[in-house]
Amino acid sequence: MPRHSTFTRRAFLTGAGALLASTAFPSVADNRAKEIRIGYQKAASTLVLLKAHGTLEKRFAPLGVGVKWTEFPAGPQLLEGLNVGSIDFGYVGEAPPVIAQAAGASFVYTAYEIPTPHAEGILVHRDGPIRSVTDLKGKRVAFNKGSDVHWFMVAALQKAGVKYTDIQPVFLPPADARAAFERGAIDAWAIWDPFLEAAKRQPNARLLIDGAGIVSHHQFFLSARTFAQQNAELIDAVVEEVGKEGAWVRANYADAATQLAPIQGLDASVIEAGLRHYAHTYKPIDAEVLAEQQKIADIFSELHIIPTKIVPKEAVLGTKV
C-alpha cells in the first residue's frame, strides 16, 4: 500500500548512507549480521504495520539481510527475550527497561516515542463505589507486573497520597485481567491501548483516570548491546523505517485501523481511537527522557520493586547523553 510520508529526524537518516557504505566495502558487509530478529507486541501498531507491509524485508533483501519477527504478550516478556539472546531489537514501555537493567540485562536504549499519556488508564466498574484514586485503598487492582502500567499505578497512587502497599496488586496479563474484571474478581484494572479503548466500551466499565498529568508513558526501542555495537547501520535503518511508518499512520488513521483490525482482533473503530492516543513520533535518546527513566528507577528501588539502584544512562552507547 503506498505510503506518502517523510521522516525528517536527521539522526535517523544516517541509516541509508551507512547501508550504502557497507555494500561498497566488503570487509564491513562481511561483519554485518545476516539477520535482524525483532520482537514486537500485537498492540505495538507501528511495528505491526511495518511487519505487515514487509518494508524491512524489501529494504534489506539486496543486502542479504533477513528479518525474523517474534511476538510477545507484553514488555517484560520481550525484555526477557532480548536478555537471553532470542531477539536483537524490540519496542516496550517505560518500566520494563528499568526492571530488566536491574536484573542485569545487556541492552541499550535506541529511540523513544514522545509522550502518550492518554494511551493507558485505570478502569473501574461503572456502578461501583470507586470514584477517585484514593478509593483504591484496600481494593484489588490488576495490572501486568513490570509493564508500563505498573509504573502508572505507582505514580497515580503517589500523586493521590496513597501508598503502594495500601492496594492489593493482582498481577495479570491483559486477557486474564479483562476476564477477571468482567466477572467482578477485581475492583480496578490498569491497562494500555488498544485494550483500554476496547474495555472502555463495555457496559460494565468506567474510566477512572488516564495517564495525563501523571506519567509521560514513553515507549522505547531497545537493542541488544552487542548487536547494536556491531550493526549500527541496521538499527538506524530499522528506526528510520519505523519513523516513516509512524508518519503514515498519523496521516491515515482510518486506513491503518482497517489494516490492523484482523491482526489485533478488534473492531477498526476501537483501534483507530487507540491509535490516536499514541504519538507515532520517535526521537533519538536524550538526557531528558533518561532523567525520567532515572526517576522511575529510583522510586522502584525505594519500593523494592527492583532489588538495586540503577543508572539508566549507562544503557546507552557512546557519550551522546
Query: What are the percentages of helix, strand and coil residues in the chain, rounded to 5?
Result: 50, 20, 30
Q: Are 268 and 261 in contact (CB under 8 A)?
A: yes
Residue ending a domain, among 184, 210, 236, is 210
My answer on whether 127 and 110 are in the same domain is no
Check residue 320 and give its pLDDT.
52
Residue 47 counted as domain residue: yes
Continuous H helices in the chain: 10-24, 26-31, 45-53, 55-60, 75-83, 95-102, 148-159, 174-182, 195-200, 225-230, 232-251, 253-264, 268-275, 287-302
Tens digits of per-residue pLDDT, 243-298? 999 999 999 999 999 999 999 999 999 999 999 999 999 999 999 999 999 999 99
User: What's the CATH code of the domain at 121?
Assistant: 3.40.190.10
Instruction: Please count the structural domains in the chain.
Output: 2
Residue ending a domain, among 157, 186, 210, is 210
My answer on whether 256 and 294 are in the same domain is yes
pLDDT range class, residue 42, cuts 50, 70, 90: confident
Tens digits of per-residue pLDDT, 80-116? 999 999 999 999 999 999 999 999 999 999 999 999 9
My answer on whether 311 and 166 are in the same domain is no
Q: Are 235 and 111 in contact (CB under 8 A)?
A: no
Residue ending a domain, among 163, 184, 210, is 210
Residue 321 counted as domain residue: no
Question: Rounded to the nearest 10 degrees, how much is the dihedral formed by the CA atoms of 157, 163, 166, 168?
Answer: 50
If you average pLDDT over every residue of the chain, what do you get?
90
Which one-letter amino acid corresponds to residue 238? V
My answer on whether 76 and 138 are in the same domain is no
Domain limits for position 183: 117-210
